[in-house]
Amino acid sequence: MNNYFIKTTRTFSSLRRYAWIFTLTVAFGGLWYPRLGLLVFGVIFALTAMSLFKGRYWCGNYCAHGSLFDQVLLPFSRNGQLPGLLKSKLVRATVFAWFMYNLTSKFIRVSSLWGQWMFWDRLGFVFVASYLMVTVAGGLLGLLVTPRTWCQFCPMGTMQLGMYRLGKFLGWTRKYDRMISIEDTDKCHKCAKCARVCPMQLTPYTEFSQNNQFEHDACIRCLTCVENCPAKILTLSTAVEAEQIREASEDKGYEHRRKFSAIITRITEPASDIREYTLSYNSDTGISPLPGQFILVKIQDQPEIFRAYSISGIGPGNELRVAIKRVPGGYGTGIIFGTFVLDMEVELEGPMGHELLVDDGVDGLLLVAGGIGITPFIPILQELRAKGRRATLVYGANTENDLAFHETLLSLSAEGSGISYLPVLAKPQDEYYGHRGFVTDVIRDLDVTASHVYMCGPQGMVTAVTSLLREKGVPSERIFAESA
Ligand SMILES: Cc1cc2nc3c(=O)[nH]c(=O)nc-3n(C[C@H](O)[C@H](O)[C@H](O)COP(=O)(O)OP(=O)(O)OC[C@H]3O[C@@H](n4cnc5c(N)ncnc54)[C@H](O)[C@@H]3O)c2cc1C
Ligand code: SF4
Ligand code: SF4
């Protein structure tokens, strides 16, 4: 089984990238200069005060041990599943009681030195010892289990939770408490990416409340899910901000989303490592997919996980097709390529998406595809051709073998069709006489000033093409993109 949890950047600010230096300075430097431990007083004061207003925000954004776990340990960590016991209230309460007992008894011992020079050294050392213990124990757990294992039962985290509840009771959180919020649950792909990257191994997408917020106490507001959500529908917002985002959200392209099932009636291979599945659904599902839309394909229950696939063919009758590229080590494509067979029933949701719904009344259409991002353009071009409309398709791939649907595209762009097809290869074989390089190399030579541009491909391609088009004077309102 491929690894469910994904290692991805979790440190989005300089503080989060380098705060671990503070941890090592206090934990190890304190062995020679114990007064360094007195700095921890400031840390405890700040995190306690902040938690009254913002829950565990400190843990995700300022904690120096958190920085050590996320920045230094993550690349070397096993990054596996946390055992349920380590997330339990019992473990949290036991560690907290033991820690407080330990700290209090040390304070009592040190207090006998009050008034002497030694007092401050010994007091500092109490904190140095606890910082060292957390660094060693948290570090080992981080390597063997997952980087943020310690954070599940960290006594400071437990204390913040208590303070947070007090802040809520006093009404102090209302204005400042930013939680993970979703623009509209109907726009969620249920892909579980937010759960797979979450350092605390939470599952936000399954637990949004009525007001579209993720109210889990253990959320450290680290933004990792926000940065990684492919639908770009997550934010860190107060309840009022979340409500405003929800109200401003348009449901165009998502209003007909529904659950339905289909039977796999055909499997073909339009290019190396790509399989196209024909899915036959019942006429009473009432769905009517549009060219440019995508559907969600369920890959597992518990938790329910789907993968988004652009529709690569519509009809005849109650049929639609999706073309799926195998991702080396991919969780979902591993399941699909390993278990999806002819005559199997699959659960779907959709159709949905509006970015690639081509406007009826516009001319000068430029379509840009990268790799498997070609899929939505097959039904789009079929429709354009049927309506006698003109368009140019620039399609980038690595080699000849990676050009999916090449024959279909050649026939769609036959002379007199009004469709111009420009494939471009980054690593062609020697005898290739077509365009070489990237899609941007071809677009640079096109007159695009009056174009409406629709693109689908890797995020890097979308970013590069967008900036080239902006340079060439295409306004952003005429550029539409979806990442594949
Ligand atoms: C609107 C939309 C339409 C799409 N249409 C299509 C389509 O038509 N055809 C198609 O093939 N795909 C399409 N996709 C992409 C598709 O949804 C899946 O993302 C894709 O199939 C990969 O899924 P996966 O679970 O196999 O990969 P994942 O396991 O989710 O991996 C995705 C990426 O994360 C990386 N990764 C995975 N695990 C780790 C790890 N442990 N550490 C570090 N990095 C890791 C992988 O290298 C990979 O690049 C579309 C996506 C969207 C949003
Ligand atoms: S990451 Fe996926 S499951 Fe999570 S909110 Fe975004 S689209 Fe939904
Ligand atoms: S839910 Fe999001 S913000 Fe909260 S801990 Fe997980 S990744 Fe961080």
pLDDT value of position 2: 58
Q: Which ligand 1 atom minimizes the distance to the CA of 79?
A: 41
Q: Which ligand 3 atom minimizes the distance to the CA of 204?
A: 1
CA atoms within 13 A on the CB side of 328: 1
Ligand 1: residue whose CA is nearest its atom 32 = 330
Ligand nearest to the CA of 295: 1
Q: What is the whole-number distance in angstroms between the Cα of residue 341 and the centre of ligand 3?
A: 36
> How are the residues of the chain apportioned to helix, strand and coil, as percentages rounded to the nearest 5?
45, 20, 35
Q: How far is CA 482 from the centre of its chain?
A: 15
Q: What is the whole-number distance in angstroms between the Cα of residue 25 and the centre of ligand 2?
A: 38
Q: Which ligand 3 atom minimizes the distance to the CA of 214?
A: 1
Q: With contact defined as beta carbons under 8 Å apart, do 482 and 353 qualify?
A: yes
Ranges of beta strands (E only) in 419-462 are 419-425, 435-436, 452-457
Domains and CATH numbers, the chain: 14-170 (no CATH), 179-248 (3.30.70.20), 258-352 (2.40.30.10), 365-483 (3.40.50.80)
Residue reference for tokens 């007195």: 38
Residue 388 exposed, middle or buried by CB count within 10 Å (0-12, 13-18, 19+): exposed
191 Cβ below 6 A of ligand 2: yes
pLDDT value of position 348: 97
φ, ψ of residue 128 to 5 degrees: the values are -60, -45
3 Cβ below 6 A of ligand 1: yes
234 Cβ below 6 A of ligand 2: yes
pLDDT value of position 214: 97
Ligand nearest to the CA of 305: 2
Give average pLDDT by consecutive 10-residue segment, the chain, 484 residues: 86 96 97 96 96 97 98 97 95 96 95 92 95 97 98 97 97 95 96 98 96 95 97 96 95 91 96 94 90 97 95 94 95 96 96 92 91 96 94 95 93 92 91 89 92 94 96 94 84
Question: Residue 298 forms beta bridges with which residues?
Answer: 306
Q: What is the whole-number distance in angstroms between the Cα of residue 149 and the centre of ligand 2?
A: 23
Q: What is the whole-number distance in angstroms between the Cα of residue 482 and the centre of ligand 1?
A: 13
Candidates 342, 200, 361, 358; CA nearest to 277 is 342
In 340-369, which positions are buried (b, 16+ CB within 10 angstroms) versus exposed (e)?
Answer: beeeeebebbbbbbbbbbbeeeeeebbbbb
In 140-160, which positions are buried (b, 16+ CB within 10 angstroms) versus exposed (e)?
Answer: ebbbebbbbbbbbbbbbbbbb
Q: What is the whole-number distance in angstroms between the Cα of residue 381 and the centre of ligand 1?
A: 25
- Encoding tokens for residue 160? 């913040």
192 Cβ below 6 A of ligand 2: yes
Helix (H) or strand (E) holding 369: strand 365-370
195 Cβ below 6 A of ligand 3: no
Q: With contact defined as beta carbons under 8 Å apart, do 175 and 107 qualify?
A: no
Residue 464: strand, helix, or coil: helix
pLDDT value of position 117: 86
**Alpha-carbon distances of 404 from 165, 375, 395, 467, 472, rounded to whole Å:** 55, 8, 10, 26, 29
Ligand 3: residue whose CA is nearest its atom 8 = 222
Ligand 3 mutation target, pool 193, 200, 216, most atoms within 8 A of CB: 200
Q: With contact defined as beta carbons under 8 Å apart, do 303 and 203 qualify?
A: yes
Q: Determine the Cα angle at 153 with ends 237 and 45, to 5°.
A: 65
Q: What is the whole-number distance in angstroms between the Cα of residue 305 and the centre of ligand 3?
A: 18
231 Cβ below 6 A of ligand 2: yes
pTM: 0.91
Q: With contact defined as beta carbons under 8 Å apart, do 255 and 219 qualify?
A: no
pLDDT value of position 431: 80
Ligand nearest to the CA of 334: 1
pLDDT value of position 473: 92
Ligand 2: residue whose CA is nearest its atom 4 = 194
Q: With contact defined as beta carbons under 8 Å apart, do 256 and 204 qualify?
A: no
198 Cβ below 6 A of ligand 3: yes
Q: What is the whole-number distance in angstroms between the Cα of residue 36 and the centre of ligand 3?
A: 31
Look up residue 167 and give its amino acid: G
